[in-house]
Structure 1
Amino acid sequence: MLKCLIIDDEPIAQNIIRGYLDDTPGLVLMGICDNAIEAIEILENKEVDIIFLDIEMPKLSGLAFLKTLEKTPETIITTAYREFAVEGFELSVADYLLKPYSFERFLKAVNKVKKRIEAEKSLGTGSNVAEQTYTYFKSGRKNVKVMYSDIVFIEGLSNYVKIHQVDDKILVVYERLSHLQKVLPYQRFVRIHKSYIISLEKIIKYGVDSVEVGEKELTIGKSYKERFLSKIKNFNP
């Protein structure tokens, strides 16, 4: 069973999603939140596989909420606003549903999430990810083994990334940075910018606006700064 959370301030929208969930085998509703602040508390204390997330909400928008999360469940955006789609997919949401949407369209989004979860499991994600020391990345037609200890930082470039490793090795992988953020063990890596994920153990020095890894100085994005500073203070290699 996939555990689901609804985050939407509109009662009508909440009821529609809840009805669709009731009619879909394999899904269970864990809660309904009127705003993102309520959702943060639930996600800190409960395991959630899928969130159905509105964008325009009081206190904190849906997209701003996603940027605050260290470990993000699979996300299906549910909104009346088409103009946020590009930003949503840059944050690696699974699907983007424009209100009003049909049950058929809802099922298509859920099936997409199921495939993503299966793909992540095949890459070694899950409860034992922290115990693993490597993963395989698909580069061209080959799956290349990369040790976590060899990764210095990962640079996002549109639909592909460059994995910068020790000894100046670079591996090009056709994947989104936001997806790798979920795949990599969050105890060892942190996203500091829309374009960078770094290895905590490779940090040489850092300030409030930049961090040095290897021989490269990288900018810390404003929306990632608080999470990074908290992570580095509590990092225990």
Structure 2
Amino acid sequence: METYIQQIPNLSLVASCKDAFEVMQVLAAQNVDVLLDINMPKLSGLSLLKTLQMKPSVILTTAYPEYALEGFELSVTDYLLKPFSLERFIQAVQKVETNTKVINQGIIINDKEPISGVFVKSDKQIIKINFEAIEYVEAYGNYIKIFTPQMVLTPQTLSEFITKLPHQFMRIHKSYVVDFEKIKMIEGNLIHLQHDVKLPIGKSFKKDVLERVQLG
């Protein structure tokens, strides 16, 4: 599969994981599409999919055709029965590209009309938050804090929420996502925002941050 990926120009191999728990770590760190093997140690690929609240585009691979129905019930994009050819692999990749529009960092949205905001649960209310009002978002356990002129606390993870955000937002730390248009200054490992807010840049995110501002 790695050889196939290397032969397709618009694909890149983000990680090769030995089990489902490594896959979870990759999904928590960044937004990616997934090529997933059903037969994995500790937790199967199908079991992993059932645990994900926000599912990426998934191509399942397996040597066992009997799992196909369950896979499609989990809304996978395609199902590859081993051994499969390069031509069949390319067809699966094209299905991902046809069914969804992939924008920059793996953010997937329906390409019909611009989306101005997102609805979130907060306390007993459902609130619409306009993207332009968001300055930054902070992870808070199984919750996130969305900082607009007011702070909104909502029950979802940062990895889930970033998939709903447009390109102007970027993860700078495992605990922070910022609106790049609202950055005033980058000083060492700190990002300065409005209202004297200073946020740390995570070591594993610094290269992406510098490339984004064309300094890397």
TM over 0.5: yes
How far apart are residue 127 of structure 1 and its match? 2.6
Q: Which residue, out of 155, 158, 161, partners 2:138?
A: 155
Letter of the aligned partner of 1:212 in structure 2?
Answer: H
Letter of the aligned partner of 2:109 in structure 1?
Answer: T
Matches within 5 A, 1:1-237: 8-9=1-2, 32-33=4-5, 38=6, 41-43=9-11, 54-56=16-18, 72-73=32-33, 75=34, 77-78=36-37, 80-82=40-42, 107-108=69-70, 110-113=72-75, 125-127=109-111, 131-166=114-149, 169-186=150-167, 188-214=168-194, 215-233=196-214
Aligned to 2:86: none
Task: Tell me: CA distance 1:160–1:133, structure 2 relative to 1, closer, same or farther (3 Å).
Answer: same
Task: Describe the superposition over 1:85-144 as per-residue Cα deviations: whole angstroms up to 9, x where unpaired.
Answer: 9xx989x66699xx9896566654553356xx99xxxxx933357x33222223244321
Task: Describe the superposition over 1:166-191 as per-residue Cα deviations: whole angstroms up to 9, x where unpaired.
Answer: 2xx111111121121111002x1001
TM-score normalized with structure 2 length: 0.60
Equivalent pair of 1:94/1:113 in contact (CA under 8 Å):
no
Task: Describe the superposition over 1:67-93 as per-residue Cα deviations: whole angstroms up to 9, x where unpaired.
Answer: 886x523x364374549x9xx989x66
Letter of the aligned partner of 1:42 in structure 2?
Answer: N
Equivalent pair of 1:125/1:184 in contact (CA under 8 Å):
no
Letter of the aligned partner of 1:136 in structure 2?
Answer: F
Task: Tell me: CA distance 1:67–1:163, structure 2 relative to 1, closer, same or farther (3 Å).
Answer: closer
Q: For residues 115 and 57 of structure 2, what CA distance do their matches in structure 1 show?
A: 29
Q: Considering only aligned residues, what root-mean-square deviation do their CA atoms show, in Å?
A: 4.7
Task: Tell me: CA distance 1:181–1:107, structure 2 relative to 1, closer, same or farther (3 Å).
Answer: farther
Equivalent pair of 2:190/2:200 in contact (CA under 8 Å):
yes
Secondary structure (helix, strand or coil) at the match of 1:201 reads helix
How far apart are residue 146 of structure 1 and its match? 0.8
TM-score normalized with structure 1 length: 0.55
Secondary structure (helix, strand or coil) at the match of 1:43 reads coil
Task: Tell me: CA distance 1:100–1:113, structure 2 relative to 1, closer, same or farther (3 Å).
Answer: closer
Equivalent pair of 2:172/2:202 in contact (CA under 8 Å):
yes
Equivalent pair of 1:139/1:174 in contact (CA under 8 Å):
yes
User: Percent of pairs identical after alignment?
Assistant: 20
